Amino acid sequence: MVEKSSDQHIGFSTDRINAFTDGVLAIVITILVLGIDLPEDHKFSEQGLVSFLMRISRDVTMYAASFWLIGAYWVQHHAMFHFLKYCNRTLLWINILFMFPLTMMPFMTKLKVVYHADVVVAPLFGSTFIVSGLILLGIWRYIVARPALTDRPIDPPVVRSMSRRIMIGPLISLIAIGISYINTDLGTIVFCTLPLFYLSHRLVDYDSGERKT
């Protein structure tokens, strides 16, 4: 369905952009778990399950970190797009740009497992979420600057609150990168704290609920 908005921009339904984003991120998360190595030689089974789990603990930890980080950005993306009634071609391309760094996560996660002691790997891993977070902020600013794409103007307090919340991702990633130079495992733990800041967002959720009703 294609409609013409009041400012003469063409508006597309948001159904396919949401479905495409969900599908891509679901595939990325699936590839992540497939990156956990399962040794095929029998000597590990002879050593016992606990020994095997200890061997792959770093793989599992990095999988969990990447999973929750991607999930946190998906939550923000979902909350933002709830304000949309239409999307346009420019927004489609910006959204594709947002997903590109996230599709690199299985590769970056594997690099962090294999080269966990290398000081270069933490900036590479963290830069993925920094870039994605900044693009996500760009999407939000693009949406609020075009009221024709939403069902009604977004309140300024909601705009500011969402912008601040989005910037938490790049900020936490920068902090985690810095800590990783001191202790790589502690840096990974800091990365894992990022989703805690997206568990709730009452101002945005309340405004979204009003729009739905």
pLDDT exceeds cutoff 90 at 119: no
Residue 126 contacts by C-beta under 8 Å, 6 or more apart in sequence?
173, 174, 176, 177, 180, 191
Q: How far is residue 153 from each of residues 14, 19, 84, 149, measured CA to CA in Å?
A: 17, 25, 10, 9
Position 114 scores a pLDDT of 85
Torsion angle of C-alpha atoms 113, 114, 115, 121, degrees rounded to 10: -50
Location of structure tokens 């967002």: 201
pTM: 0.82
Position 8 scores a pLDDT of 47
Alpha-carbon torsion (199, 205, 208, 213), positive or negative: positive
Give the pLDDT band of residue 1 (cuts 50, 70, 90): very low
Tell me the CB-side half-sphere exposure of residue 16, using CA atoms within 13 A: 12
